[in-house]
Amino acid sequence: MNKAQSRQAVWLASLLLAASGGLLLLGITVGSTGIESLANMQRDPQAMQIIWQIRLPRTLGAWLAGALLGLAGAVAQGLFRNPLADPYLLGSASGASFGVALAMALFGVSPLATQWVARLGLTGAAFLGAVAAVLLTLLLAKGVQHTVRLLLAGVVVGVVLGAVTSLILLLTPDIMQAMQGFMLGTTAFVGWPACALLASAFGISLTAAWLMSHVLDGLALGESTAQSLGLQLPQIRAALVAVLALSTGTAVAQTGLIAFVGLAAPHLVRSVVKTTHGRLIVLSSLMGAVLLAAADVLARWLMAPQELPVGVLTAVLGGGYLLWLMHRHTGRGAGL
């Protein structure tokens, strides 16, 4: 990596950190009560509570969830050597949806089920569902030795669990409205405990992914080349899949299904700077954080005092970006 690319990477990281700070400040001013809560914060206890207990943790939680999705997107695209890979490829999104739908259905079935759901919580159900889906994908793929088999197994698990989730919704229609909020994605219920959990998962995932980034650099040269370099591919692949499951499962459990952030963040970074996977993972995390934090602020502001589901906004904006990207590359005869 030459000096010019290093300077570009540092410049981009600085810009994203500055944007993160600006969005954090902007996030505490946007809400159903507008900027008045900020102005009255010193003399109104309710305004103080709105800022410190609702807006600030929500904005910080959106930033952390976006960082996890951006990191997972960079890992997934490097692991599968496919620029169209996204964090949900191993079935984690469908597993999380299945876990939440099952918990909601059991909640109204029996007192025992009610106690179980109350103790575990929908967040725990979503995380366990996401991890279970990834484990099922690994079981069907017979490990992590074959990337294509792993990818296909993830698609199969996603389709099957999606169908089972639809069946649960069909049998228990009273949970459809609550389930819709999870499937559209929202940051409205993120509090300080969720921020602590997201921050812990992000710290672990970022450290592990960065330490294993040299393997992704090797895989970019081809599997045979990576093996000739002496890289322990099966073991490190399994560790990268664990990072992917942890980061995606934690983000989805706290914010629901947020589309396109994990897919678009690495693309946006690569459009600015060509770099190694170590720096790509860090920059993609920052890019994903900025994207989701900005989408969260927009979702609260566009239709204030009402708000849009943030997952809908990211899907529209992310889908538009990818369509533009495909159109731009069509004339060049190149892939994404």
| Token pair in block for residue 202 | 């992000």
What's the pLDDT tens digit per position in 60-114? 999 999 999 999 999 999 888 888 788 888 898 899 899 888 888 887 544 444 4
Q: What is the mean pLDDT of residues 259-279?
A: 89
Identify the weakest region by mean pLDDT among 29-33, 119-123, 145-149, 202-206.
119-123
| Residue 336 confidence (pLDDT) | 53
DSSP 56-112: HHHHHHHHHHHHHHHHHHHHHHHHTT-TT--TTTTSHHHHHHHHHHHHHHHHTT-HH
CB distance 313 to 97 below 8 Å = no
Dist. CA 34–CA 37, nearest whole Å: 7
Average pLDDT, stretch 22-31? 85
pLDDT, tens digit (0-9, with 9 covering 90-100), for 161-203: 999 999 999 988 888 877 887 888 888 888 899 899 999 999 9
Spell out the domain ranges in the chain: 3-330
Q: Is the model's pLDDT at 115 over the cut of 50?
A: no
End-to-end Cα, the chain, rounded Å: 22
User: Contact, 260 vs 314, CB < 8 A?
Assistant: yes
Q: Can you tell me the distance from the alpha carbon of 176 to that of 45, in angstroms, rounded to the nearest whole number?
A: 36
Joined together, the tokens standing for residue 117 give 């759901």
Pick the CATH number of 3-330 from 1.10.3720.10, 3.40.50.2300, 1.10.510.10, 1.10.3470.10: 1.10.3470.10
d(CA 263, CA 284): 10
What pLDDT was estimated at residue 294?
93
